[in-house]
C-alpha cells in the first residue's frame, strides 16, 4: 500500500499541470458551491434577524374610528378597547388564543433621577408582554413586572438599558431599588431590560393595574395583544380566524361588519408565513444553482480525468508489458484521482468557508428601530459542505474509473503503440 502511495505521489509530482487542472476543477466547484450556499444563507439569516427575538404568533388590536353609520350610531365614532374585549377574546376564542393581555400607552413622560432625566414612552403592561415583544433582562439586572405587581398595583418600573445609562451614569451606580420620578409620581426600579440589536429603545414599563389607577384610565385599554395557539398553522387558518374575530369585535362594539376603519390590527403571524415562504423560495433557488455548480465541477473533473487517462494509455501499456495487472492499473488511476480530488476538494472547502466567514465579519447585524438586515452571517452548514465535497470526490473517482476501465481493456500491444 505504501509502495502504491509512493508510486502515485511520484506520478502526481511529475505531472504538476495535470494535477493542478484536475485539482482546480474540484476546488473551484466546491468553492463556488459554498460561496453560493453561503450567500443564500446570508439572505435567509438577514430575514430571520429582522424578526429578532419577538414572538411570531402575536396579534395586536387597536380601536379605530367608524366610517359607516350603524345600529343608530353615526360614523366618525371612536372605538376604544376595554376589559370586555379582553374577556371575549380569551373566553370565546379560547381555542385559538393562548394569552391575551391589555396594554395602556401613556405617551411620553419625563423620568428623572437626581439631576439626570430623559423623556421616555411609558406603557402599562402585563408580564407576558416580555415574550411577545422579545424583551430581555440580563443577569443581575433585576426582574420584569410580575403577577404580584399587577395584583397589588405596585408602583414599580422597568427601564431600558439606555435609560439606566442616562439616569444612573452608566453602570457606575446601582439602579435596582432606586426611586425615579415619572412626571411627579415616584416609581421603584425593579429591572432593566434590553432588546437584542435595538439599543435605542427607551420605553419604560409599569404594571397595567398601576397605570389604570394612577392615570385614571378606568377600564380603557390602548391596545390588546394576544398570542395564537398552535391551531393556527398557516395563512388560511390565520385569515379564517381573523375574519371571525373581526366579526365578533364588530358585534361587541356595534360596528358595521363592513367597516374596516373601526378595527386596526397587526397580525405578525401572517407576515411571518409570507416571509417564510420567501425564505423557502430562496432556499430552493440556491440549492438548484448549487447543484448545477456542483454538476459543472463534476463535468470539469470528468473531462480532465478522461483526457488524463487517454494521455496515459501508452504508459499503462508499458506498465502492463512489465507485469502490471489490469487491477493494479485501475488502483493506480482511481487512488490518484481520490487523492487529488480529496486534497483539492478540502482546499476548496477551506477557501469557501474562509471567505464566507470573512464576509460574515462585514455584515454585522445592524441595529436601530428601522434597521433592516438584507444580508447576515453568510455561512454554510459544515455538514452540507462536507457532503458536497464527498459527492465531488466520488464523482471525480467515477469519472476516472470509467475511462481507466476502457484504457485497461485496450490490448497491451496496442496501448504501447498508442501515439
Partner 1 sequence: MPTIIKLKNINKTYYSGAPLHVLKGIDLEINRGELVSIMGASGSGKSTLLNILGILDNYDTGEYHLNDVLIKNLSETRAAYFRNKLIGFIFQSFNLISFKNAMENVALPLYYQKTGRKTRNKMALEYLDRLGLKEWAYHMPNELSGGQKQRVAIARALISKPQIILADEPTGALDSKTSAEVLDVLKKVNATGMTMIIVTHESGIANQTNKIIRLKDGIIEKIEDNSEHNFSRFDIQNIK
Choose, by CB under 8 A, the member of 68, 150, 318, 351 that binds partner 1: 318
CB of 319 to partner 1, least distance (A): 7
Choose, by CB under 8 A, the member of 186, 285, 321, 374 that binds partner 1: 321
CB of 295 to partner 1, least distance (A): 32
DSSP character for 70?
B
Q: Give the three cell numbers for residue 318.
A: 508499458
CB-wise, 386 or 413, nearer to partner 1? Answer: 413
Contact 95, 231 (CB under 8 A): yes
User: How far apart, in whole angstroms, are the C-alpha atoms of residue 337 and residue 401?
Assistant: 9
410 binds partner 1 (CB under 8 A): no
CB of 15 to partner 1, least distance (A): 6
Q: Give the three cell numbers for residue 67.
A: 366610517
Contact 321, 416 (CB under 8 A): yes
Contact 373, 48 (CB under 8 A): no
Candidates 57-65, 75-83, 302-310, 326-334: pick the segment binding partner 1 (CB under 8 A): 326-334
Distances in Å between the alpha carbon of 293 and those of 88, 164, 178? Answer: 56, 52, 62
CB of 20 to partner 1, least distance (A): 15
Candidates 79-87, 109-117, 223-231, 409-417: pick the segment binding partner 1 (CB under 8 A): 409-417
CB-wise, 162 or 319, nearer to partner 1? Answer: 319
Distance of CA 238 to the CA centre of its chain: 22
Choose, by CB under 8 A, the member of 72, 172, 177, 327 that binds partner 1: 327
**Exposed / middle / buried, residue 11 (Cβ in 10 Å: 0-12, 13-18, 19+):** middle
Contact 104, 21 (CB under 8 A): no
Number of Cβ atoms within 10 Å of the Cβ of 156: 22
Candidates 51-59, 294-302, 315-323, 362-370: pick the segment binding partner 1 (CB under 8 A): 315-323
Give the closest residue to 63 by CA, choosing from 354, 326, 260. 260
Beta-strand relationship, 204-207 and 116-125: parallel
Residue with cell 453560493: 36
319 binds partner 1 (CB under 8 A): yes
> How many helices (H) and strands (E) are present in the chain, helices listed first?
13, 12
Angle at alpha carbon of residue 177, lines to 53 and 126, rounded to 5°: 40
326 binds partner 1 (CB under 8 A): yes
Residue with cell 439602579: 175
Choose, by CB under 8 A, the member of 92, 252, 315, 357 that binds partner 1: 315
Binding to partner 1 (CB under 8 A) within 9-48 occurs at: 10-11, 14-15
311 binds partner 1 (CB under 8 A): no
Candidates 34-42, 102-110, 239-247, 325-333: pick the segment binding partner 1 (CB under 8 A): 325-333
Contact 363, 378 (CB under 8 A): yes
324 binds partner 1 (CB under 8 A): yes
- In three-state secondary structure terms, 225 is strand
412 binds partner 1 (CB under 8 A): yes
CB of 375 to partner 1, least distance (A): 48
Candidates 271-279, 364-372, 373-381, 404-412: pick the segment binding partner 1 (CB under 8 A): 404-412
Choose, by CB under 8 A, the member of 72, 140, 184, 323 that binds partner 1: 323
320 binds partner 1 (CB under 8 A): yes
CB of 328 to partner 1, least distance (A): 7
Residues in the interface with partner 1 (CB under 8 A) total 25
Binding to partner 1 (CB under 8 A) within 225-254 occurs at: none
User: How far apart, in whole angstroms, are the C-alpha atoms of residue 336 and residue 342?
Assistant: 10
**What residues make contact with partner 1 under the rule CB under 8 A?**
3, 6-7, 10-11, 14-15, 314-315, 318-328, 408, 411-413, 416
Amino acid at each position: 500500500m505504501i509502495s502504491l502511495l509512493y508510486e502515485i505521489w511520484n506520478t502526481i509530482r511529475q505531472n504538476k499541470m495535470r494535477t493542478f487542472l484536475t485539482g482546480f476543477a474540484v476546488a473551484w466547484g466546491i468553492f463556488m458551491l459554498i460561496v453560493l450556499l453561503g450567500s443564500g444563507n446570508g439572505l435567509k439569516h438577514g430575514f430571520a434577524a429582522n424578526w429578532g427575538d419577538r414572538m411570531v404568533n402575536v396579534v395586536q388590536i387597536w380601536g379605530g374610528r367608524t366610517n359607516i353609520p350603524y345600529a343608530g350610531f353615526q360614523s366618525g365614532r371612536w372605538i376604544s378597547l376595554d376589559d370586555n374585549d379582553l374577556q371575549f377574546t380569551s373566553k370565546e376564542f379560547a381555542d385559538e388564543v393562548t394569552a391575551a393581555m391589555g396594554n395602556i400607552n401613556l405617551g411620553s413622560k419625563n423620568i428623572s433621577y437626581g439631576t439626570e432625566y430623559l423623556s421616555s414612552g411609558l406603557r402599562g403592561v402585563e408580564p407576558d408582554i416580555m415574550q411577545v415583544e422579545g424583551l430581555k433582562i440580563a443577569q443581575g439586572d433585576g426582574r420584569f413586572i410580575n403577577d404580584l405587581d399587577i395584583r397589588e398595583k405596585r408602583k414599580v418600573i422597568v427601564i431600558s438599558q439606555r435609560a439606566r445609562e442616562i439616569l444612573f451614569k452608566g453602570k457606575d451606580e446601582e439602579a435596582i431599588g432606586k426611586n425615579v420620578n415619572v412626571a411627579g409620581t415616584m416609581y421603584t426600579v425593579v429591572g432593566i431590560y434590553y432588546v437584542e440589536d435595538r439599543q435605542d429603545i427607551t420605553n419604560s414599563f409599569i404594571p397595567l393595574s398601576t397605570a389604570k389607577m394612577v392615570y385614571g384610565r378606568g377600564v380603557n385599554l390602548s391596545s390588546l395583544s394576544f398570542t395564537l395557539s398552535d391551531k393556527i398553522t398557516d395563512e388560511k387558518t390565520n385569515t379564517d380566524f381573523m375574519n371571525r374575530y373581526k366579526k365578533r369585535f364588530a358585534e361587541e362594539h356595534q360596528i358595521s361588519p363592513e367597516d374596516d376603519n373601526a378595527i386596526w390590527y397587526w397580525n405578525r403571524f401572517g407576515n411571518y408565513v409570507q416571509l417564510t415562504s420567501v425564505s423557502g423560495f430562496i432556499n430552493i433557488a440556491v440549492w438548484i444553482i448549487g447543484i448545477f455548480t456542483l454538476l459543472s465541477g463534476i463535468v470539469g473533473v470528468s473531462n480532465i480525468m478522461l483526457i488524463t487517462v487517454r494521455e496515459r494509455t501508452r504508459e499503462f501499456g508499458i506498465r502492463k508489458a512489465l507485469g502490471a495487472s489490469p487491477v493494479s492499473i485501475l488502483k493506480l488511476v482511481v487512488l490518484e484521482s481520490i487523492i487529488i480530488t480529496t486534497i483539492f476538494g478540502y482546499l476548496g472547502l477551506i477557501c469557501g468557508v474562509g471567505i464566507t466567514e470573512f464576509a460574515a465579519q462585514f455584515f454585522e447585524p445592524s441595529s436601530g428601530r428601522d434597521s433592516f438586515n438584507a444580508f447576515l452571517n453568510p455561512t454554510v452548514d459544515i455538514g452540507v459542505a462536507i457532503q458536497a465535497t464527498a459527492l465531488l470526490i466520488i464523482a471525480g473517482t467515477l469519472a476516472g474509473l470509467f475511462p481507466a476501465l476502457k484504457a485497461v481493456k485496450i490490448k497491451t500491444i496496442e496501448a504501447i503503440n498508442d501515439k
